[in-house]
Amino acid sequence: MKYLSLFGLAIVFSGTFACNQKTTTTQQPVKEEVNLMIKAEKVAEHEGQPVFHYVLDNGTMQVELSNYGGLISKIITPDKNGNKENVTLTFDTVEEYLTKPNPFFGATAGRIANRIAEGKFELDGKAYELAKNNGNNHLHGGLVGFNKKVWTPETYTNDSTVGVKMTYLSPDGEEGYPGNLTTTLWMELTTDNTLRIRFESTTDQKTIVNLTNHTYFNLGGMKRDVLDHEFQFWADAYTPVDAGLIPTGEVKDVAGTPFDFRTPKILADQIAANGGGFDHNMVMKTEKSDEMKHFVKVRHPESGRVMDMYSDNVGVQFYTANFVKDFAGADGKTYDAHWGFCLESQNWPDAINHENFPSPILSPGEKYEHTIEYKFSVEN
C-alpha cells in the first residue's frame, strides 16, 4: 500500500486499474478499466492546523470528506438511470463546518458515540464527570468531541482502493475521559462502490471507547424526506429507552413491535406505528467478534438506489432525523424531520452503566478495532 503525505495546497492522484473481468459472446475476456483518483485541497486552517477537502473517485461514485472531524461531507452516486446525486445531508463547503452548528452531519463521533446517562460513569471505583451537552446527558464525546478535531492525514491507494488515513491523539482528561487515546481512522472507497470506515485505538490507561460515523443518508437525492425508503435489519432485538433516550437496560425481542424490520418495511409505516420516529439501538450481536455481519439493507424504489451496511460491531443506532427542523443545508435545500437517516455502527449506548451490555472498556496493551462498510448499488 502506498501513502501520499499532504503538504501542498492541492494534490491530485489518479490511476487506471483492471478488474471485474467480463466476457463477450465469443467468451474472450474483456478488461473493464476503473479509474481511481484522489483529489486533495487545503481549504482552511483551524487552530493552526490545515483543513483539507478530499474527493475519492472510482469512476462511478465519489465520496467527499475532510480531516476536520473525520468528516464525510458528500456521497455522490448514480440512480438506476445513471443520474448522479449527493445522498447525504450536508453543507455546500467543508469550511462551513468550522463555523456553523449542525447535528453531527457526517462526523466521527467519539470518544464515546451516543449517550452516557447524566454524563457520569465509574471505572475501577473512580467516578468520572463528563460534559452534559444533551439535556442532562453526555452525547457523542461532549462539547468538543472528535467531530471538532483536526486529524493528521495521509492519502493512500492500491489496485482496488483509494482513501485517507487520519490520526488523532486525545489527551488524558479531554472532555473528562481518562487516558491518552491514540486513534487511527481510515476512510476509503473501493472499486466495487463500497465506502469502508475503519477505526483503531490504543490507550496508556484504562478508559472507554465507542467510535462511529454519523452520516445522514437520503438515497432519493435530497428532494424530500426518507419515509418512502424500505429498510431491512438483521436484528432480532433492540434496547428500549426512557424519555431521555437512555437505554433502560432491557434487551427486547422485536417480534410484534414497530422495531421488527426482519422483513423489508416501508419507513413511513413503521414510524407511524412507533409514534414519531426512531432513535434506538438495534441489537446485531450479543458478544463482540471480528465477524463482518450484514446489518441493514436500504432501498429507495423510485431512484433504484440500494445501500447495504456491514459491520463487525454489536449494534447500530437507527436514527431518523427526528430533531432536524428547518435546517438550511446544501444546494439551497431546507432539511426537516425525517429528511435523512443514520445507521451508526456502535457498542450499545450507555454500556459503561449497564453490566449486561457489551463492555466499552479499553485497557493498555489492548486495541479497539471497528470496521463499517456501506455498499452502494442500483436495482431497476
Which 3 state secondary structure label does DSSP give 63? Answer: strand
Work out the burial of residue 139: count CB atoms within 10 Å of its CB; fewer than 13 is exposed, 13-18 middle, 19 or more buried: buried
- DSSP letters along 229-256, please? -EEEE--SEEE-B-TTS-B-S--EE-TT
Cell of 82: 445513471
Report strand pairing: 120-123 vs 126-129: antiparallel
What's the DSSP call for residue 273? H
Cell of 55: 474527493
Which residue is catalytic, options 53, 214, 229, 280? 214
Annotated active-site residue 122? The verdict is no
- DSSP letters along 119-153, please? GEEEETTEEEE----BTTBEETTSTT-GGGSBPEE
Annotated active-site residue 214? The verdict is yes
Say how far apart CA 300 and CA 79 lie, in whole Å: 10
Cell of 248: 433502560
Cell of 218: 437520503
User: Considering only CA atoms, which of 279, 285, 287, 366 is closest in space to residue 322?
Assistant: 279
Say how far apart CA 260 and CA 237 lie, in whole Å: 8
Say how far apart CA 355 and CA 368 lie, in whole Å: 19
Which residue is catalytic, options 174, 175, 188, 344? 344
Cell of 259: 422495531
Around Cβ 2, how many Cβ atoms within 10 Å? Answer: 9
Around Cβ 11, how many Cβ atoms within 10 Å? Answer: 17
| Strand partners of residue 78 | 84
Are 10 and 41 a contacting pair, CB within 8 Å? Answer: yes
Q: Which residues are catalytic?
A: 214, 344
